Structure formats: C-alpha cells, structure tokens
Amino acid sequence: MYKVYNPKLRELPLSIQRLGELAYNLWFSWNDQAKALFARIDPLLWDQYVHNPVRLLSEIDASKLQQLAADESFLQQYRAVMQQWDDEVQAPSWFEETYPQYKQQAIAYFSAEFGFHESLPIYSGGLGVLAGDHCKSASDLGVPLVGIGLLYKKGYFNQKIDTDGHQLAETMQYDFEKLPIAPAYVRSASSEPTEELVITLALADRTVRLKVWHVQVGRISVYLLDADLEENSPWDRELTAQLYGGNQDIRIAQEVLLGIGGVKALRALGIPTGVFHINEGHAAFLSLERLREQLDKGLPFHAALEVIRASTVFTTHTPVPAGHDAFPLPMFDFYLRDLLGAYDSHRGDLTQLGLDADKNVFNMTYLALNTAAIRGGVSKLHGQVSREMFRKFHGNIGAEEVPIGHITNGVHLSTWLAPELRELYSRFLPGTWVTSQANKDQWAGIDLIPAESLWSVHKQLKEKLIGYARANLREQRRRNSMPADLIEEVRHYLSKDALTIGFARRFATYKRANLVFSDLNRLDRLVNDPDRPVQLLFAGKAHPADRPGQELIREVYRVSQMDRFRGKIVLLENYDMNLARYLVQGVDVWLNNPRRPYEASGTSGQKAALNGVINFSVLDGWWEEGYDGSNGWSIEMNNDADWLTQEKENTESIYRLLENEIIPLYYNKGALPVQWVERMKRSIRTLAPVYNTDRMVMDYVNKTYVPSLIRTRHFIDNDCEEAIKVADYKQFILQHWRQVRIIEVSDGSGQARIAARAAQPTKEVTATVKFGAVWYKDTAVEIVYYEEQPDGWHQRVVEMEPSRVLDDRTVLYRAVIPSHLKHGPHFSVRVHPISASFARRFELPLVTTF
C-alpha cells in the first residue's frame, strides 16, 4: 500500500532498498528527516538536482550507495525515517475516525496544475501550489482523495533575467524517468503488473491516446495524463508539453484531455468515485463525460444532470473576468463533436450548460456552475465577489442570497514551516500540535517562547535567505557575462541587520509590484537611512504572453540597478517553490498590495505568517478576514473611490506606515526588538491555526464532500428514483411557473390606519398569491426588506404563513414586519420554488416579486 511500482529504478543495496519507495513518494518533500536523509547521500548533488531523490539515486555512483549501505550511522537515520512513515500510515487517520463509512468512496480532485515540490515542476503558481497543499493535507488527514491532472513534459518555464531586465522564458524538456513519478499499470492479478495504462478519447476529428502516470503523495495517489506518445500526431503530442502555453485551440484541447480524459482514467483504474471536485473551470468538461455515462445507462438527460450536480463540487479561484476560460461556439462544437454527435438530440442542452448568451461563447465557469450543486470561492471576500459576478444565474434575488459560498484557502504547514522553527515550536507547544494544528488552543504556547529564542531563529533564517539571494544574483550576472568585479560585488549585497521586505508572486498588473516605487525620493530616504535601513526583495514570473506583466519586471529591475538602490532592492529570478521557502521564512515583512478585490485569496502571506513574518497588505483576499489590528498592518484606502484615488491612498498608506510604525517598531530596543517579536508571536498565534490546509481540507470534507456523498447516494438508490423525481419536479415547475402571480399586497397603508397604528412597533401584511398548476406548499412566500446596521444595510427576509386557501388555487398569506415599512419603497413580496431535495435554497432561478 502507498507504493509506486517502477521497474526502471536501479537495484539498491538490500539494507537501504526502501529508499526507492521513499524517493517515489512525495511525502519526503514535507518531512524534514526524509529530506535530510537524501541530502546526506550527497549534499552537492542534492542541491544540484533540485532536491530530486529519483535523479539522485539514479545518477550517483553505485559505490557510494554500497558505502552508505554499510554505514551504521546512515542506516540508523534511514530506519528512523522509514519507521516514521510506517507509523504514520498505520495510525488511524482523522477521516477514518470521523467518517469510517465513507473511506471506500474516493473524492476525485481535478486540477490543471499541481505544485507539490520543485523536483516535479508542473505548476506555475498559486493555483497549483494550493492544489499540491490540498493533496498533502488530504494525505495527512487520511481523506480518500485522488488527484487528476496533466503531465507537462516542458513544465511551465524557467525564468531568466537579462541585463535589461527582460524576462526570458526558457523551456525545459524533463526526463520523466528521473522524476518522482512512475507509469500507472493496467490492473493485474500479478503483484508486479507490466502493461502500462493508456487510454483513448475522441478529440475533434480524431482519437488521442494518453499515457497515465502515477504520483504518490503520502497516502493518496495523483494521476497525470501524457499525450506525448508516438501513436499521436505531432500536434497532439504537444498538447501536454507546456502548462498554459499556446493558443485557444491548445487550451480547449488540454481541457478536454483533463476533464474527459481524467474521468476515463479513473474508470480504467477501477477507482470507485463518489465526489468530483472541479478545482477551477479548466476541468469542467469532466461533467460532460459523466453525463455521457449516465445517458449511456438510459437515464433521461434531466435526471442525469441531477446525478452529476449532486456529486460535483466546484471551486472558483479568480474574480478577474479574463481568468474564466471561454471558447467560440464553433470551436466548442469542433472539439466536442464526438459527444455532440452521439447525442444530437441533446446538443442544445449540452451547449446550454456553458453558454454565455451575451457573448455567444462557451464559458467553462458557467459549465462548472451549472453542473455542481456546491460552489464556492476561496475567501470570504471572494465569495461575496463571486456572488455578484454570477448573480444573473439565480434569478431576481439579492447577491447575498446567491448560492455560492466560500472556504478560505490555507497552506500546508509541514511544507512551508522552517525546520528550525518547527523544532522551536515543538519545545513549547503540546505534542499533538502538528496533527491538531487547526485547534487554536494548541497554539497558546507560542507566547511562552522567549523573545531571544524566536528572534535568534529568525535571524538564522534571514541569513540563509540572504546567502541564497546572493547566489541567485551572482548566477544572473555570470550567465549574462558580466565582468568579474560586478559578479563579486553581489557578495556585499543585502544586510542581515536591515529591515527586509519581501514581495513575491505572479507579476500581473493588478498585483501592482511597482506601487512602492511611486515616490522614489521618499523610498530613497527609507532605504538609505544610516540608522534604520530598509531593503526589498522581489521575485515572480509573468506569463510569456503578458507584456504588461513583463514590463513590471523590467521596472523593478531598472529601479534595482539605480546607484541609490543597488544591493538594497533586488530582483531574484526563477521564482519556484524552493526560492519561495527561503523568502517566506527569511524576510521580516511580507508586502502585498493588489488592487482590491482582485486577489481572490492569496496564500504567500499565509506561508509567511507561519514563520513569524509579519503581513503588510491591502485588506483583500484572506487578509481581509485574517487581520485583527494587532497581527500585522493594513494598507488603507477608500474601497468606494475610483482606481486613481485608491492607488494614491494605498501609496500614501504604505509610506506612512513604514515611516511611522513598521520601521520604528523594528528598530526599537536595540539588538532585541521585543515589541516586534511580540507582534511576530501574535501573528503566528492568530493566523497559523486558521490558515492551514488541514483546516481547509476538513472544511471541504465537512461542508462539501460528505454532504455530496450523502446526497448522491440518496439520488442514485433504487435506479436513480430520487434523481428522476427531482428532475421531473424541476421540469414541471419550469413549465408552469409563469402561472404564479402575486395578485395583491396589503400593508395597511391607508391614512386612517396609519394614524391608528402610529404608536405600534409592528404591523400585519397580507399577500394574495395565485399559483395555477403549482402546489402552494412547493413554494416560499417571503417579505424582503433592508435594515441599516453600523456596518451597512443588511437584508431581512420574513417568511409569510398561509392563512387561508381561497378559490381557484389562490392563497392568502400573512406576516408581521416593522410598522414604518411601506410596500414598494421599503419592502417587497416574493415567491420562489422550494424542495427538501434541493441542495440550496435558490436552486431554480425562478423568483416572482411584487
């Protein structure tokens, strides 16, 4: 169990044979002892091979392995690591103890990218790293999750910066036989299967073959699809070459492979799957393949759709409209021609699931929304923004009632917490603090850590970062053939004693990497203050097609080369997970200043917070809910002002807070800034227990996965009896809803009644509703009004009770509301369909108002 079979790995000495098992399980990437074990084999090669244990074991001299196999000290370390792994998988997991009845039902997690570790570079940034962290916590918690993605032979790209600050996108060709992945095999009764698993699917006017690869991530498996097979055409072989590369044809083809191919791979692997999680719209074609399966079983289309909705969860990740993939309808018709042709009578129904009628395109987010009963954003604020963005899907209701929720992102603690800090925390926190990290009580002991101890470890991490940054800059200059003296001067760049600010993320214009450069003279005074200096480290990639993003990189580079900022503002190249760890563990302050509300969540600041780095951010994404006034700093602005005004206010706030609060606090009390360390502790104590993926994954299990499993089982029992019943009910309601009318609303607004009730705090309202063919008990009749609170206007909904059934399917309703409210200007009455079988209150976009 939990073992990847790969016959191509070299034979290892018997006493260390399980090193191969460990190398092919990405559990090593978040276990400090396992990483130390591989580093001990050959520290230089370990770094040179980007911490890739498979390549290390494949290429190191065999005599070295024989030597280690006889080294008792190494063997003790080896046995300790393997025992730790064995103990972990044998211990009862959170999921097994909480939901033992569901452990045989897999949750299929589909994502276009997975960022597990720098040794497997098939990620570009936040979405992929979040997916990787999601999988790692699923493993830690024992959640029966299986990942589905694509295997990109050229990854994303390696970033080089030239002497003019231009980003050079260097593509790489990875040797899959030296990555921590292995082929998946056709199921066999033999203990060692030999036939590699290949699936086929229709794409446009042809068939494409996909090889399935297996990645072991602790307890769970991730399967990646690879089109680079000789049987495929040259164009098709390139479909899985590069992440987010190429034109729209390549993008839609990749998404067909991911969604439809991913479902086919699960079926070929024989994995019983109860829930499908669409992680961003790229994977939404999976719903069309699953619809095909249900139609092939003979289920009517509308009932098949109910089965798919019940068992599908969708997470949207971007509030930027351009971030939602959409394709021209002729392109959709061409690439999905096999499906559309096979079910020609349902062509319109299938197209309608993703149709954006206003733009006449097929929108992948619309497809996901229409085929998932549970949908959500990735922070509280992003949930609000998403409800506004997709309000039109749900009829005439307020944005706050749109059935899109949120589960705020987190980060995987064991991946991102510095080993030195983990050791320090473990001396003062309960022994269960790592496995119970989402319990706030476990973190109270942070206050017991002596300020000297926390500051000492932080200084060590800062020095490690500076050393790594200098090496990065030296390599930039060496590669760009700069003179030896300019290469050597980098050794004096950055100071371990200066307040160090980090800014690292994707270079997109809305993230405003250059905002701190708005007043270079003011920045100069901060950076070059002889008594209280400041230094800034920047890192990040721009998409190769994003010219404005690349211009931001050039601007950062240009400023870093000015005499007054040289060695104090630096731009590091090739931002990846390895560099990210150094940055989030070693800077003093994490700067984040996106244009609100375009940062859906953001997770880099959460990684920083784990390590005692203090956040300095716009109240956007996760920071809007994480900031409490004492655990970091908020970059202020008027959210209702125009963009130019907001930018000015943000800029002024950044400089003012640096000058008046952040810098004085850091340099207060000499060598040991006690007040600064207290804020570090406050940040760790309040943020670490909340913004971790253990809490996030438990939220997904409790709020989405298990409810979906329960509802799906209910829908498919007895030959999908409940699914058919709900689908028929919805069809009936859709056909007859036009007959539902509110005939009259009376709130006693006559002059005499007003005078008589002036002193009464409440009044009775009646509504007369004609239902036609719709049964009145299948509806909710409600009064809606808004009430002013200190933080703004809040919607209030009062359910009206049926008082009397009149003739001709008409019912009189009554309710009591505050007496000052008048029908029309202050409140309205509405009717909408309801059902105990609905996943959400406004499942049908039907609301009649008066």
pLDDT, tens digit, 9 for 90 and up, residues 278-317? 999 999 999 999 999 999 999 999 999 999 999 999 999 9
Residues 191 and 120 in one domain: yes
Assess whether pLDDT exceeds 60 at residue 770: yes
pLDDT at residue 723 in the model: 96
Residues 150 and 234 in one domain: yes
In angstroms, rounded to a whole number, what is the distance separating the alpha carbons of residues 172 and 576?
Answer: 14
- Joined tokens for residue 420: 């030195």
Place of tokens 């956040």: 615
pLDDT at residue 760 in the model: 82
Q: Which helix (H) or strand (E) holds 46?
A: helix 43-48
pLDDT tens-place string over residues 538-573: 999 999 989 999 999 999 999 999 999 999 999 999
Comparing C-alpha atoms, which of 513, 544, 446, 533 is closest to residue 171? 544
pLDDT at residue 752 in the model: 45
- Joined tokens for residue 773: 């063919």
Residues 713 and 684 in one domain: no
Residues 382 and 486 in one domain: no
In angstroms, rounded to a whole number, what is the distance separating the alpha carbons of residues 323 and 369?
Answer: 15
pLDDT tens-place string over residues 331-370: 999 999 999 999 999 999 999 999 999 999 999 999 999 9
Q: How confident is the model over 718-745, as a mean pLDDT?
A: 96
Q: Which helix (H) or strand (E) holds 460?
A: helix 451-479
In angstroms, rounded to a whole number, what is the distance separating the alpha carbons of residues 386 and 366?
Answer: 12
Burial tier of 718 (Cβ tally within 10 Å: 0-12, 13-18, 19+):
exposed
Q: What is the largest CA-CA distance in the chain?
A: 103
Structural Rg of the chain based on CA atoms? 29
Let me know if residue 414 belongs to a domain. no
Tell me phi and psi for residue 837, to 5 degrees.
-90, -5
Question: Could you tell me the pLDDT band of residue 23, with boundaries at 50, 70 and 90?
Answer: very high
CB atoms within 10 A of CB 10: 11
pLDDT tens-place string over residues 252-277: 999 999 999 999 999 999 999 999 99
Strand partners, 98: none
pLDDT at residue 320 in the model: 83
pLDDT at residue 807 in the model: 82
Let me know if residue 592 belongs to a domain. yes
Residues 62 and 118 in one domain: no
CA 385 to centroid of chain Cα atoms: 16
Residues 715 and 758 in one domain: no
Q: Which amino acid, one-letter code, is at 582?
A: Y
Q: How confident is the model over 9-14, as a mean pLDDT?
A: 88
pLDDT tens-place string over residues 606-639: 999 999 999 999 999 999 999 999 999 999 988 8
Let me know if residue 422 belongs to a domain. no
CATH number assigned to the domain comprising residue 203: 3.40.50.2000
**Secondary structure (3-state) at 585:** helix
Laid out side by side, the sheet with 779-789 consists of 792-799, 779-789, 827-833, 848-849
pLDDT tens-place string over residues 480-512: 999 999 999 999 999 999 999 999 999 999 999
Question: Could you tell me the pLDDT band of residue 201, with boundaries at 50, 70 and 90?
Answer: very high
User: What's the DSSP call for residue 571?
Assistant: E
Residues 623 and 712 in one domain: no
Let me know if residue 433 belongs to a domain. no
**710 CB contacts (<8 Å, ≥6 apart)?**
none
Residues 131 and 246 in one domain: yes
CA torsion, ordered 43, 49, 55, 61, to nearest 10 deg: -50
**Secondary structure (3-state) at 671:** coil
CATH number assigned to the domain comprising residue 836: 2.60.40
592: containing domain: 440-688
Question: Could you tell me the pLDDT band of residue 125, with boundaries at 50, 70 and 90?
Answer: confident
Residues 107 and 74 in one domain: no
Let me know if residue 435 belongs to a domain. no
Residues 45 and 104 in one domain: no
CB atoms within 10 A of CB 426: 13
**730 CB contacts (<8 Å, ≥6 apart)?**
302, 306, 843, 844
Q: How confident is the model over 665-694, as a mean pLDDT?
A: 94
- Among 89, 112, 146, where does a domain finish? 89
Let me know if residue 547 belongs to a domain. yes
pLDDT at residue 190 in the model: 63
Let me know if residue 727 belongs to a domain. no
Say if residues 501 and 536 touch (Cβ distance below 8 Å).
Answer: yes
In angstroms, rounded to a whole number, what is the distance separating the alpha carbons of residues 683 and 703?
Answer: 27
- Among 89, 106, 140, where does a domain finish? 89
Place of tokens 């040794």: 119
User: What's the DSSP call for residue 10?
Assistant: P
Q: How confident is the model over 164-180, as a mean pLDDT?
A: 91
In angstroms, rounded to a whole number, what is the distance separating the alpha carbons of residues 455 and 449?
Answer: 10
Tell me phi and psi for residue 170, to 5 degrees.
-100, 115
- Joined tokens for residue 849: 């108002």
Mean pLDDT taken over the chain: 94
β-pairing verdict for 206-217 and 182-183: antiparallel
Comparing C-alpha atoms, which of 162, 145, 101 is closest to residue 273? 145
- Joined tokens for residue 767: 């509504």
- Joined tokens for residue 82: 């393997």
Assess whether pLDDT exceeds 90 at residue 374: yes
**74 CB contacts (<8 Å, ≥6 apart)?**
16, 40, 68
pLDDT tens-place string over residues 390-441: 998 888 888 889 999 999 999 999 999 999 999 999 999 999 999 999 999 9
Say if residues 816 and 762 touch (Cβ distance below 8 Å).
Answer: yes
Question: Could you tell me the pLDDT band of residue 219, with boundaries at 50, 70 and 90?
Answer: very high
**478 CB contacts (<8 Å, ≥6 apart)?**
487
Total domains in the fold of the chain:
4
Q: How many residues does the chain have?
A: 850
**55 CB contacts (<8 Å, ≥6 apart)?**
49, 119, 178, 179
pLDDT at residue 588 in the model: 98
Comparing C-alpha atoms, which of 593, 589, 591 is closest to residue 646? 593
Tell me phi and psi for residue 401, to 5 degrees.
-100, -5
Let me know if residue 417 belongs to a domain. no
Assess whether pLDDT exceeds 50 at residue 1: no
Q: How far is CA 815 from CA 702, 740, 776, in A?
A: 35, 20, 16
Q: In percent, how much of the chain has pLDDT > 90?
A: 88
Sign of the CA dihedral 617, 620, 626, 629?
positive
Q: How far is CA 420 from CA 253, 450, 459, 586, 611, in A?
A: 45, 15, 11, 12, 10
Residues 106 and 244 in one domain: yes
Q: How far is CA 540 from CA 13, 161, 185, 546, 571, in A?
A: 42, 11, 38, 13, 9
CA 416 to centroid of chain Cα atoms: 16
Query: Which residue blocks in 766-843 are alpha helix, DSSP H?
Result: none
Residues 55 and 188 in one domain: no
- Joined tokens for residue 372: 């998932």
**61 CB contacts (<8 Å, ≥6 apart)?**
none
